[in-house]
Structure formats: structure tokens, C-alpha cells
Chains A and B, each alone.
Chain A
Amino acid sequence: MIVGTSGLVLNEKLLFEHSDAGRKGYSLPALDVPAATLPDGLCREEIAGFPELSEVDVVRHFTRLSTWNYGVDSGFYPLGSCTMKYNPKVNEVACRLPGLADVHPATPDHLAQGALTLMYQLQEMLAEISGFPAVSVQPAAGAHGELAGMLAIRAWHEARGNARRTKVLIPDTAHGTNPATAALAGFDVVPIASQGVLTLEEVAAHMTDEVAALMVTNPNTLGLFETNIEAICALVHERGGLVYCDGANLNALLGIARPGDLGIDVMHFNLHKTFATPHGGGGPGSGPVGVRADLAPFLPGPLAVRDGDSYRFAGPPGSVGRLLAFHGNFGIMVRAFAYIRSMGAQGLRHATEMAVLNANYVRARLEGSYHLPYATRSLHEVVFSDRDLPNDCHTLDVAKRLIDYGYHPPTIYFPLVVKGAIMIEPTETESQETLDEFCDAMLAIAGEAGADPELLKNAPVRTRTRRLDETGAARQPRLKWERPC
């Protein structure tokens, strides 16, 4: 069955084009104190171009916009590396409880014991899941957690007088945030080649006394477990360095293996991936960072700490500092807490097993029709390429054609080491029927590429817009609405 169909697509202008002078969708109580204002010289004229709309205008506007989007609730969303699992509804209710949503961050600790307890317990549960004894939940997203971790690594070396260690080794399969983060923490990046997985020899060849750390992703972005990780960690340690792990792919390891037990020293979590918090159209996420014990003093803080039966914010003593004005994306922490408490240890392990089962099932069904660059057993995601597609059809065309079939495309053209990569991460929340329908669509598209390639080249045709001119958008940037002259 083709899931995609052409339904009712409503047009909708920009907010500013709707506006009519004198409308508003808001009411304030009558002022119960004497009117007062600021000196004239400080005040602006009216805000030129600002919208004026009634509540119903606003509600229709955003409701219509929402219908042009595709979310996990719309259908299968196999975006590799992003772990687009289902976002449980009760978690949305939980974070909106007034006793959680309306707590001001400057509330004295003794009046915010519920919130602090939750943060403390989340730190503890993440520590147990990952094998890192200390966790800071302050970072706002994965890249922010990376920054926290790399700053801690820098501070750890500094405390040992290792000022010469200014380089970081990063494999060619890494997310772009890894090198960008290393640079932001003041390191020079040394790219290293992988052969699907990192080899001990390759790491050894680069592991000099100028290297502060190795940044790995495990399982890596090809969906492969770094089989040499323990030996690599031992080598890096022996030569005075530390190992950072990008935790984007932790969904492959819950209850199976703990990065902290493998010799990894620092790792960030993506609560919006592994722990089912919604991706929000591009955030907010949450990127806690876990470290081994001797790096704990350098974590961003303060952390929630326990004193007997009560909790407070404190330390850590040698902290690299604050990364956000307040305590982190608490609303996201509530959702992740609710998820972990709903799943329990057995549920989390089951999630990982089903995620890996699903990825391997998709692999089994598509292998032979799409080129599989690495034969090693996949974990939670599988990477194909467009190498064998006929008639000058490429990954982008497959992705766009999938949209016509009613799916969000996989991650494409990443990792960079696979030319024309198609990176599929089904996650555990998809049923066999869903996977079969998706695989049927992928196989049909492979067939169309041979029989009628224009179907791919013209896709998508059932969407709000057809393919958009991205080159034109970059050449003459129009980044805001302007009143037509």
C-alpha cells in the first residue's frame, strides 16, 4: 500500500500578510495600579510591520502550517542518527504539571525539592545506564554536551600540567559537531581514517603526546560497534590521553553494554534521541554529560546533590563553568525521567533489542536492491548507498520519491565516508507491518529508477511544494519578510 496520498492542502499566507490594524488576540486585566510609563526618550514608536491578528486568525494560521509538516506521529521517520522514536503522550502531560512547569529557577532549593529530586534521580539513572559515576544534566543539546565534555577534558589536562596536549583525533565517520566542538574548546582537529571501524594501528599512529583526546561515536555512524574500543581506550590512556564518546547512538546499547565500562572517559547523552523526548522541529533537546570519577570535579554545574533526605545545588569544585543561564532544559528532563521510569531496566533493554532487530530486518529486506558498503552486522541503523542505481538516479532522488510514498526520508549523504549514503534508523517503536510497507516502497523506487527514472527526478509531487531552489535561496538570501514596496 502506498501510504502517501494527495489530500486537502490548504494555502496560508505569512502572519504579516494577514495583519489588519486594530486586531489582537490577547487580553489584559484592567490596570489596578496608577498608570506609569518610562521617559519619552526611552520609548519606541510602534513596531513597524508587527502583526495584528485575532485569536482565531492565529489559531488557523498555525493549524494550517502544522498540516504542511511531517512528524513521528504522521508516520515512519527513519532519519538515521536522530533516533526518531515515538514520543509518549503522558510525558507531554507530565512536563506541563503546574508544580513542575511553573517553578521559577531562582526558587530557593528548599522550596524546589520535587524538581531537585527529579534532577538528582535522573542524574543517577543516567549514571547507571552509561556506567559513568558523575553526570551533569545542564547542557541543552548534544553539541552543548560535547562542549561540556571537551572543556572538562581540557581542564583535566590543565590540572595535570599537560599544556602541550592541544590536539584531538576525530575519525572520518564523526558527526560535524565533533570537530566543531573540539575547535570551540580550543583544540586542533586531527582527522583519522577508519575502515568501517577504527583500528588500533590507525589510532596508535596518531596518538602522540600532543593529543588530548580521541572523539569516537559508538556504535559509529555506520551503525557498527567499534569492536576495538577497549584496546583503543587502553592505548589512548597509556599514552596520556582521554576518550570522548558521542552518545548519539546509545539506543543500540541500553542494558547491553555501558560506555563507561569500556574505558571511555566522557560521553554526552541525547535525551531527545535515546530517551524519547520530542525533537520539536529542531529542539529543544537535552545533552547531559557523564564522566569518570576523576573528571567529575570539572563538570559544568551546579549539580543536584543529596544531603540525607534533601537535595540542593552545589559545585563541582573545579567546574569549567556554567553553560546556560539556569539549570538546563528541565522540561525535557521531566520527559526523559518519565520515559525511563515507564520503561524500567527490562524495558530499556527490550527497546534496544527491538531497535537492532528492526534495523537488521530492513537491511535484510533491502540488501541486494541497494548497495550495502559494509557487510559487518549492523546494530541500530544501517547505511546503504546509491552506487547501484541506474539512469543517473541518486540518493536525493530516492529520498524525494519516498516522500510521495508517505515517508520521511532517511538521513542522506551522511556519513561522509559513504558516497551517496542512505542512513536508515527505524527505532524500536515501529512494527513489522510498518517496516514491510516502507521496504516495499524502497524496492518499488529501486524498480522505478530502472523503468521510469523521471518518477524519481520529479519527486515529490504530492507535497505542499515541489523541490525548492536552494541555490537561489543561498545566492540571494531573503531571511525575513519585508513589506512589498
Chain B
Amino acid sequence: MRYIPHTPGDVAQMLERIGVGSLEELFVEIPASARLKRPLALPPALAESELVRELKALAARNATPENRISFLGGGAYQHFIPAAVDLLISRSEFYTAYTPYQPEISQGTLQAIFEFQTLICQLTGMEVANASMYDGASACAEAALMTVRLTRRRKVLVSRALNPRWRKVIATYCRYVDVELVEVGYAADGRTDLEELAGKLDGQTAAVIAGYPNYFGVVEDLAALAGLAQGAGARLVAGVAEGVALGLLKSPGELGADIVAGEGQSFGLPVSYGGPYVGFFAARMKDVRAMPGRLVGETVDRDGKRGFVLTLSTREQHIRREKATSNICSNQGLCALTATVFLSLLGKQGLRELAQQNVAKAAYAREQLQKVAGVTLPFAAPSFNEFVVRSSKPAGEVLAALEAQGILGGIPLGADYPELGEAFLVCVTEQNRRSDIEALAGALAGGAA
């Protein structure tokens, strides 16, 4: 086996040093009744060349933007990834290390996380960010639990316009910890219904959670949501599914959010059939001790030289056990590094330009689709790089007809939003060329819709 160095001679010498006669004797503590009495029934071992062939064969059976025009978004976004990103995170000093428990030989990871925390604070307009969460949805769920700890209230209002998958994850995390989740609908323009929200807020409300932009791609009025929530003594959690939007939109912090829980996949991570992605989590400094997850802080060594360490760990499971702020241990370290590299390359200008291209491409797509007979765009509020399309024919049929022309036209919304009728979510990024958009409009006009 190519990953195991022992020769039969090594094994014999080592057994002798241990003082046992066989490998079998090493397992003497495992009772005979507990032993597996047959070999595992697994497929035969593959040589490296055979493995690569098998994986390529599997890979060939998947649709990707290499063989389709794709307008899929809905929480995972197809942005270009500069070559330097993957080459840098492929330095094995980064990817074969573990959690930086020994700071003197982990300063690379620690400084990079400190930079990640800083970048997230700058992007979100918040005061403190952690070292990462599993993804945006689980970050949002942890945010809901944090507001319950902070306010000692047990009701959380969740906007129906928040990504439905994220809402499901919040529900899973809250399932057995006595938190009541209440849905708040959206208004005709696609934004969270402020009147309904005002009516549902009360002295038991810990938090209001809304997407920014929301699942329909619509930019919520976060300042109004914050005002209402905080007026009732509750916290506002902004859930950011498309991080690139923060390159252009006012930061949630500036608009009054108390916690920003987001998805950083757009920052250099491939869509990879759903993961690994990276959740980011940012809050106010006054609440730092209630935060989940790891934090890296600046300090000095014995010679007074700047260095970085894991800090405030008395919040965490390995110290506080059942009283910890979360059970999270391994997070998405390498993905946080990926985001850090990506954001460093784009920088202040690059990220804004990227966000603007996304807006312009999506605006052009909206304009083209609006002209198609049988297609309507139900929501008028400004949107970022996604929007809802309603068709006269069943959405499943429309998407199947597009698929037949090599176009992944969007994500059907019927199961999550039956009230929208025949609708689907279209995402347009800088990776979609004008000709792609025109192909979509053309196919819809040509009968698909």
C-alpha cells in the first residue's frame, strides 16, 4: 500500500520491541465476540491510475458550466476563481495542518484567520468576526441561538423571504431547545413585510432574521428591519447568502444589524455540489462572549514580537463543555483562507467592480426576459444578481424545455413558495456572457415559456 511505509522486516522488529509475537496480540483487549469474522465487503483496491479513470468517468456524468449555460444560484454562486487562489491554498503547510493549538508553529494559519476576521468586519461593517462556521445556513442558526442567550427571550421571527434551506437549518438547530420560530411574510415588492413584522414583534422576541439580499435577490430595507426589531428589544440578524453583494451594498453594520451571518462561498470557493463552503459570523464587541466559534487575537511573544493566538476560548466546548456557546470544533479553516486570498486579490476596487458587473448582467437579463410574452417578473424592489421569473406554463416544463437546449434556467420555486404560482429563480453572474442571456431570452420567447 503506497501510503504505508512498513516492510515485513520493520513489523517484525517493532513487534519484538513491543514484546508481542504477532499483530493479533495487539488487539487482545477486543473480545472475540466483538470481532468481525470476515473481510469487509468493499470494492477491490484501485491503483492510482485506475482511481483517476473511475473518478473522471463519474465527473463526466455531471452537468457543469463547461457543458451547459447555467443560471443557477439560490445560495451557491458561480464566480470566476483566479488561479492564484487554488495554488496558494494548495501549499500543504496550510492544508495538511490542523487547528492552530500550538501557536508558535501555526502563525501562518493564525495570521490568515486574523486577516479573515478583519476582512469580514470590513465587509459587514461589524466589530468582531469569528474564524468561520460550516456554512451560511448553520451560521444563521447559531446566530438565532446567540440572540436567545443574549436576550433570554425565546421567540425568533424569520422572514419568509430568507433562503428556504436556511430556514430549514434554523428549524433543525432550534428543534429541541425551546425556541419558537415564527414566519414573517413578504410584501408585494419582494421585501419582508414590515407591517406584518411590527404586528408579530413582542416582548418575547429575541431576533428578527432576514436575508440581505433575500432569496429573491431583493435588497431588504435593513435599516427599517433593525429599527423595528430593536424598538421591541430584539436583535436583527442579517443573513447574507451572496457575499459579493457586500462589495456594493451598504454594510449591514451601517444599517443597524446586530449579527451578520453569511455564506462566503462566492469568495473563491467552487460550487462543488454544495460544499465545502464557509460561513462567516460577525457581531458587536459587547456581545463577543456570547459568540460561537473560534477567535484569533493579536498578542506578543516573550521577546515582544507580534504574534497571534486562539483566544476567548472559555466560550468553547473543549473548556466549557455543556455550557459552551456552541458545539462547533473543526470549522472551515481552509475555506476561510480561500476567501482571504480571493478578497486580497480583488481588493477594494476589484470586489466593487465584480459586484457592479453582477448587477449590470442581472439588470440586462431582467430587461430581456421582461420582453418575453408569458413571462413576468413579480418583484419590483431593487435586486442584486438574482430575480424571480413567473411563467404562464408550469415552471417544471419551462425549465425542462430550457434544459433540452442546454440551459440550466434556474431553480423552481413552487415547492417552497406555492403562492408564487409557476415561478423560478434566475441568477446571473459575471460568468454569464451577453450571448448566454440572449440565449435564455430567446429560448423562452421561442416557446419554452
Contact yes or no, A68 B108, CB < 8 A: yes
Contact yes or no, B360 A35, CB < 8 A: yes
Q: Is B374 an interface residue (CB 8 A)?
A: no
Once bound together, how far apart are the Cα atoms of A478 and B299, in whole Å? 8
CB proximity of B299 to chain A, nearest CB, Å: 4
Once bound together, how far apart are the Cα atoms of A467 and B307, in whole Å? 9
Contact yes or no, B64 A466, CB < 8 A: no
Contact yes or no, B42 A53, CB < 8 A: no
Q: Which residues of B contact A44 (CB under 8 A)?
A: 248-251, 254
- CB contact under 8 A between A464 and B10, given known A73-B92, A99-B56: no
Interface-lining segment among A199-207, A322-330, A441-449: A322-330
Q: Is A92 an interface residue (CB 8 A)?
A: yes
Contact yes or no, A114 B59, CB < 8 A: yes
Total number of residue pairs linking A and B with CB closer than 8 Å:
694
Once bound together, how far apart are the Cα atoms of A49 and B171, in whole Å? 37
Task: Choose among A74, A99, A403 the residue that contacts B93 (Cβ–Cβ < 8 A).
Answer: A74
Q: Is B296 an interface residue (CB 8 A)?
A: yes
Interface 1/0s, chain A 262-288, versus B by CB < 8 A?
100000000010001011111111100
Q: Is A31 an interface residue (CB 8 A)?
A: yes
CB proximity of B158 to chain A, nearest CB, Å: 14
Q: Is A164 an interface residue (CB 8 A)?
A: no
Q: Is A484 an interface residue (CB 8 A)?
A: no
- CB contact under 8 A between A66 and B91, given known A44-B251, A140-B275, A283-B333: yes
Q: Is B444 an interface residue (CB 8 A)?
A: no
Once bound together, how far apart are the Cα atoms of A53 and B87, in whole Å? 17
Within 8 A of A (CB), among B134-176: 134-138, 163, 165-166, 168-169, 171-173, 175-176
Q: Is A295 an interface residue (CB 8 A)?
A: no
- CB contact under 8 A between A477 and B288, given known A103-B63, A227-B31, A262-B34: yes
Q: Which residues of A contact B183 (CB under 8 A)?
A: none
- CB contact under 8 A between A479 and B295, given known A33-B437, A112-B63, A341-B46: yes
CB proximity of A345 to chain B, nearest CB, Å: 4
Task: Choose among B74, B277, B354 the residue that contacts A106 (Cβ–Cβ < 8 A).
Answer: B74
Once bound together, how far apart are the Cα atoms of A179 and B320, in whole Å? 9
CB proximity of A223 to chain B, nearest CB, Å: 10
- CB contact under 8 A between A349 and B40, given known A15-B115, A71-B92, A328-B274: yes
Beta-carbon nearest neighbor of A108 in chain B: B403
Range class of the A interface residue count:
35 or more
Beta-carbon nearest neighbor of A358 in chain B: B14
Beta-carbon nearest neighbor of B133 in chain A: A140
Contact yes or no, B102 A408, CB < 8 A: yes
Q: Which residues of A contact B312 (CB under 8 A)?
A: 474, 477
Task: Choose among A16, A49, A320, A363 the residue that contacts B172 (Cβ–Cβ < 8 A).
Answer: A320
Interface 1/0s, chain A 184-206, versus B by CB < 8 A?
11110100000000000000000
- CB contact under 8 A between A140 and B3, given known A65-B111, A146-B327: no
Q: Is A209 an interface residue (CB 8 A)?
A: no
CB proximity of A229 to chain B, nearest CB, Å: 7
Interface 1/0s, chain A 101-139, versus B by CB < 8 A?
111111110011111011000000100110000000000
Q: Which residues of A contact B272 (CB under 8 A)?
A: 95, 100-103, 330-331
Contact yes or no, B335 A37, CB < 8 A: no
Contact yes or no, A100 B273, CB < 8 A: yes
Contact yes or no, B61 A59, CB < 8 A: no
- CB contact under 8 A between A184 and B51, given known A176-B319, A361-B18: no
Once bound together, how far apart are the Cα atoms of A330 and B378, in whole Å? 34
CB proximity of A102 to chain B, nearest CB, Å: 4
CB proximity of B90 to chain A, nearest CB, Å: 7
Interface 1/0s, chain A 55-87, versus B by CB < 8 A?
100110111011111111110010100101111
Q: Is A2 an interface residue (CB 8 A)?
A: no
Range class of the B interface residue count:
35 or more
Once bound together, how far apart are the Cα atoms of A351 and B353, in whole Å? 50
Task: Choose among A88, A117, A481 the residue that contacts B3 (Cβ–Cβ < 8 A).
Answer: A88
Within 8 A of A (CB), among B356-400: 356-357, 359-361, 363-364, 382, 384, 399
Q: Is B88 an interface residue (CB 8 A)?
A: yes
Once bound together, how far apart are the Cα atoms of A334 and B46, in whole Å? 15
- CB contact under 8 A between A344 and B42, given known A281-B334, A326-B275, A357-B11: yes
Once bound together, how far apart are the Cα atoms of A12 and B90, in whole Å? 20
Contact yes or no, A125 B334, CB < 8 A: no
Interface centre among A186, A256, A460, A464 (most CB of B within 10 A): A464
Q: Is A354 an interface residue (CB 8 A)?
A: yes
CB proximity of A74 to chain B, nearest CB, Å: 6
- CB contact under 8 A between A176 and B317, given known A115-B62, A346-B39: yes
CB proximity of B315 to chain A, nearest CB, Å: 11
Q: Which residues of A contact B247 (CB under 8 A)?
A: 47
Contact yes or no, B95 A230, CB < 8 A: no
Q: Which residues of A contact B339 (CB under 8 A)?
A: none
Once bound together, how far apart are the Cα atoms of A152 and B273, in whole Å? 25
Q: Which residues of A contact B39 (CB under 8 A)?
A: 255, 345-346, 349
Within 8 A of B (CB), among A7-26: 12, 14-16, 19, 22-26
Task: Choose among A69, A350, A357 the residue that contacts B97 (Cβ–Cβ < 8 A).
Answer: A69
5 pairs from A and B in contact (CB 8 Å cutoff): A31-B360, A72-B96, A100-B59, A321-B172, A468-B299
Ordered nearest first, which 7 A-B pairs have the shortest CB separation? A99-B59, A326-B274, A344-B45, A186-B176, A282-B333, A280-B334, A71-B96
| Extra pairs beyond A278-B96, A325-B165, A345-B40 (10, CB < 8 Å) | A25-B344, A31-B357, A38-B359, A87-B92, A90-B52, A177-B329, A282-B334, A325-B135, A347-B45, A468-B307
